[in-house]
A and B are shown apart, each in its own frame.
Chain A
Amino acid sequence: MLAEGLASVLMNPICIVWVFIGTLVGIIFGCIPGLTATMAIAMFLPVTYNMAATQGISVLMALYIGGISGGLISAILLNIPGTPASIATCLDGHPLAAKGQAGKALGVGIVFSFLGTMISLLALVLISPPLASIAIKFGPFEYFSITIFSLTLIITLSSQNLVKGIMTGILGLVFATVGLAPVDSVQRFTFGNPNLNNGFDILTVLVGVFAISEIILAAETAHAKKKDEGTVLTDFTIHGFGFSLVEFKTQIVNMLRSSFIGILLGILPGIGSGTSNMLSYSVAKSQSKHPEKFGTGIIDGIVASETANNATIGGTIIPLLTLGIPGDSTSALLLGALIMKGVQPGPLIFEQNGQVVYAIYAAMALASVCMLGIMFFGLRGFVRILKIPGYLLLPLVFVLCTVGAYGINNQLFDCYSLLFFGFVGYLLEKGKYPMTPLILGFVLGNIMELNLRRSLSYSMGDFSVFFTRPMSCTFLVLAAVSIIVNLYVVYRGRKKEAQEAK
């Protein structure tokens, strides 16, 4: 199975070409601010509908890796992160570029993105099989408790405004209840519309909430005073990788630490590259011998951010494959794509669809190598793409989103739900509600309810089983700890703010 899986990607020229294309498109989406890796995957889903499972999932993995890596280009050259995964890259990347060392900044970013992905791939290969053999003993009780723990992480995502964050999280859960109920298949909130029996598709929710609302908001600001778009630094040169072996050696500890943070946050549901790059940056700063130099343009900052955001990719895939629980929007799309191909992620995936797992490994390695090559040789091309005006780009993206939505079931209904979620996203954006909890709630809602009801029918309605089974109890305790710790952090932050205000 191992050889078969690896060969299905690495020995198949068509697949190699597709991984190359996927990586390239991913990087393009990553480097354009406003377009993300998730959008790239959403738009490419229809392309994979008629592909073999291994090939389709390889393309999506390539898009994921490309999308997370591409963000560093605009972060360094424009001082605008291409995706939320590269926010911390701006902090040292742009100052270094402004000093005339843009080539060095880009080189460091690209190489450590590559290393971050490879280290996380290693973690994925090593952690997944033992985790799957533990998870095989999990029953609905454990799955329920894991999803509860995952949902408590909504609080982490909404430190800005706790109440609003939890509200959008529950709104996500509410949208997940539309369709046939788990276990007894009673129709809920379908308004007699058979199209709603299967509930909303994750693609329509995601693209609607993030992309459509973006377009409507752009229309509003177009006529206001012009935003400062920033200027692209175009004159830079790279010799070799842009940095020396001595500089590389000084970053090894930083790289390993950042990879660890990235992988760990990737495994935790709900927290993705958008958080890991910032956490890793602040840890690198606090552990550094020269924290005062951070922000002035040193490579330590770029290494921390870019290693961690790519390391998160491998981490995110671990619970997706071994438990079948998606941790964020990107992995929710990947989960949907796998199921559509007849591959059911979960502890049995190694036995039932081992070749798909090994194909994912192979695709990740191949895509990382492609990314390294494409980024180094295509840099000037990406700089050009950054100059395409946003007012032209957004309508084109919308048309592609519609194709994706239409392609789900070949019907217009999904396009209308796309618009509906666009409207919801717009209202939430106007009310300053955070969007990520909504996606997490939507993704986890059905898994949670299904396992709750299965558990209770096993236990004849007895709730105490959740606490008497050790693994289940552990996750519930973790959930409680996560709530308390997060509430404390929020409380402390408020107190500090109040003191500063005085």
Chain B
Amino acid sequence: MAKYRDVIGGCLFFIFAAAYYNMALGIRQFSAGSGMVDSQFMPKVYAILLMVLSAIQVLQGVHHVKKREAEADEGSGLTVKDQIISFITSFLLLIIYVALLDSVGFVIMSALFIICMTILLSTKEQRSKKNLLKLILISVAFSVIVFMIFVDGFGLTLPEGILS
């Protein structure tokens, strides 16, 4: 996987740049004014530069793969499957937190999020019952204090949710 990194990255960048160029063509323009430089101009320049550079990167990447057939993985001891699973769970957790923030409220969601995320980030040995109790206390206290400081102290509005 690691040895194809540059090829994959370059391809993704190229696809993105091409799509961006295509969208840039759809920008409305006013013919009057500063000649060739309108609102499409810079985006098109960026897209073309990005396409050229990503093509170079893909070529470099292919060259690299040929030269060093079996480059060792970083030795992080992680399989691709592990990485994808942990990425999806942590990212899902972030999305759920933001998505429910408005309806459920800042205090409850933050406390739940801190508990779940900390469990996800810690190792099995670190998850004793005593630690879990401490964690729940810390997360609830933290959420309540942050809410009070920002809302009462600094006049910010944060979603109150079902506690309102």
Chain A residues with CB under 8 Å of chain B are: 46-47, 49-50, 163-164, 166-167, 170-171, 173-174, 177, 181, 183-184, 186-189, 212, 215-216, 218-226, 389-392, 394-396, 398-400, 402-403, 406-407, 410, 412, 415-416, 418-419, 422-423, 426-427, 430-433, 449, 452-453, 456-457, 460-461
CA distance A212 to B138 in the complex (A): 21
Say whether B43 faces chain A, with CB atoms less than 8 Å apart.
yes
What residues on B are CB-neighbors of A212 within 8 Å?
94
Question: Binding site of A, secondary structure by majority: helix, strand, loop or mixed?
Answer: helix
What residues on A are CB-neighbors of B39 within 8 Å?
181, 183-184, 186, 188
Q: Are A222 and B122 in contact (CB under 8 A)?
A: yes
Q: Are B49 and A399 in contact (CB under 8 A)?
A: no
Q: Are B146 and A222 in contact (CB under 8 A)?
A: no
11 CB contacts below 8 A, A to B, read: A49-B156, A163-B53, A220-B83, A222-B122, A224-B82, A394-B121, A395-B118, A395-B139, A399-B110, A400-B146, A452-B42
Q: Are B42 and A177 in contact (CB under 8 A)?
A: yes
CA distance A169 to B50 in the complex (A): 10
Within the complex, the shortest CB–CB distance from B138 to chain A, in Å, comes to: 7
CA distance A212 to B98 in the complex (A): 13
What residues on B are CB-neighbors of A188 within 8 Å?
24, 27, 39, 43
Residue on A nearest B6 in the bound complex, by CB: A431
What residues on A are CB-neighbors of B110 within 8 Å?
399, 402
CA distance A390 to B118 in the complex (A): 9
CA distance A403 to B146 in the complex (A): 9
Q: Are A50 and B155 in contact (CB under 8 A)?
A: yes
Residue on A nearest B75 in the bound complex, by CB: A225
Residue on A nearest B42 in the bound complex, by CB: A449
What residues on A are CB-neighbors of B164 within 8 Å?
none
Q: Are B34 and A461 in contact (CB under 8 A)?
A: yes
Give 1 or 0 for each of B121-139: 1 = CB within 8 Å of chain A CB: 1110010000000010011
Q: Pick the contact of B158: A189, A396, A403 (CB < 8 A).
A: A403
Within the complex, the shortest CB–CB distance from A65 to chain B, in Å, comes to: 22
Say whether B140 faces chain A, with CB atoms less than 8 Å apart.
no
Within the complex, the shortest CB–CB distance from A33 to chain B, in Å, comes to: 15
Q: Pick the contact of A456: B34, B121, B138 (CB < 8 A).
A: B34
What residues on B are CB-neighbors of A427 within 8 Å?
12
Say whether B15 faces chain A, with CB atoms less than 8 Å apart.
no
Q: Pick the contact of A426: B42, B53, B87, B113 (CB < 8 A).
A: B87
What residues on B are CB-neighbors of A406 within 8 Å?
101, 158-159
What residues on B are CB-neighbors of A422 within 8 Å?
91, 94
Within the complex, the shortest CB–CB distance from A438 to chain B, in Å, comes to: 12
CB-based closest 9 A-B pairs: A461-B35, A391-B121, A431-B9, A395-B117, A219-B90, A181-B39, A456-B34, A186-B39, A391-B122
Within the complex, the shortest CB–CB distance from B84 to chain A, in Å, comes to: 9
What residues on A are CB-neighbors of B20 within 8 Å?
174, 189
Residue on A nearest B155 in the bound complex, by CB: A50
Residue on B nearest A180 in the bound complex, by CB: B39
Taking CB atoms and an 8 Å cut-off, the chain B residues in 54-82 that contact chain A are 54, 56-57, 60, 76-78, 82
Q: Are A395 and B94 in contact (CB under 8 A)?
A: no
Q: Are B86 and A223 in contact (CB under 8 A)?
A: yes
CA distance A460 to B23 in the complex (A): 27
Q: Are B154 and A399 in contact (CB under 8 A)?
A: no
Q: Pick the contact of B36: A426, A457, A461 (CB < 8 A).
A: A461
CA distance A25 to B158 in the complex (A): 22
Q: Are A166 and B53 in contact (CB under 8 A)?
A: yes
Q: Are B46 and A174 in contact (CB under 8 A)?
A: yes
CA distance A223 to B124 in the complex (A): 9
What residues on B are CB-neighbors of A400 within 8 Å?
146
What residues on B are CB-neighbors of A403 within 8 Å?
106, 146, 150, 156, 158
Q: Are B34 and A395 in contact (CB under 8 A)?
A: no
Q: Are B156 and A407 in contact (CB under 8 A)?
A: yes
Q: Are B157 and A224 in contact (CB under 8 A)?
A: no
Residue on B nearest A456 in the bound complex, by CB: B34
What residues on A are CB-neighbors of B12 within 8 Å?
427
CA distance A218 to B39 in the complex (A): 40
CA distance A391 to B78 in the complex (A): 19
Q: Are A412 and B86 in contact (CB under 8 A)?
A: no
What residues on B are CB-neighbors of A453 within 8 Å?
34, 37
Additional pairs, 7, CB under 8 Å, beyond known A186-B27, A219-B117, A460-B34: A173-B42, A184-B38, A184-B39, A188-B43, A399-B146, A407-B150, A431-B5
Within the complex, the shortest CB–CB distance from A327 to chain B, in Å, comes to: 21
CA distance A48 to B36 in the complex (A): 43
Would A410 and B121 be within 8 Å (CB), given that A181-B39, A431-B5 are in contact?
Answer: no
CA distance A189 to B139 in the complex (A): 39
Residue on A nearest B121 in the bound complex, by CB: A391
Q: Pick the contact of B53: A167, A222, A457 (CB < 8 A).
A: A167
Q: Are B135 and A392 in contact (CB under 8 A)?
A: yes
Residue on A nearest B89 in the bound complex, by CB: A219
Q: Are B118 and A392 in contact (CB under 8 A)?
A: yes
CA distance A396 to B111 in the complex (A): 9
Q: Are B123 and A223 in contact (CB under 8 A)?
A: yes
Q: Are A412 and B156 in contact (CB under 8 A)?
A: no
Residue on B nearest A390 in the bound complex, by CB: B121
CA distance A164 to B33 in the complex (A): 35
Within the complex, the shortest CB–CB distance from B66 to chain A, in Å, comes to: 17
Q: Pick the contact of A452: B5, B24, B37, B146 (CB < 8 A).
A: B37
Residue on B nearest A212 in the bound complex, by CB: B94
Q: Are A170 and B50 in contact (CB under 8 A)?
A: yes
What residues on A are CB-neighbors of B121 within 8 Å?
215, 218-219, 222, 390-391, 394-395
Residue among A49, A223, A461 with max Cβ neighbours from chain B (10 Å)? A223
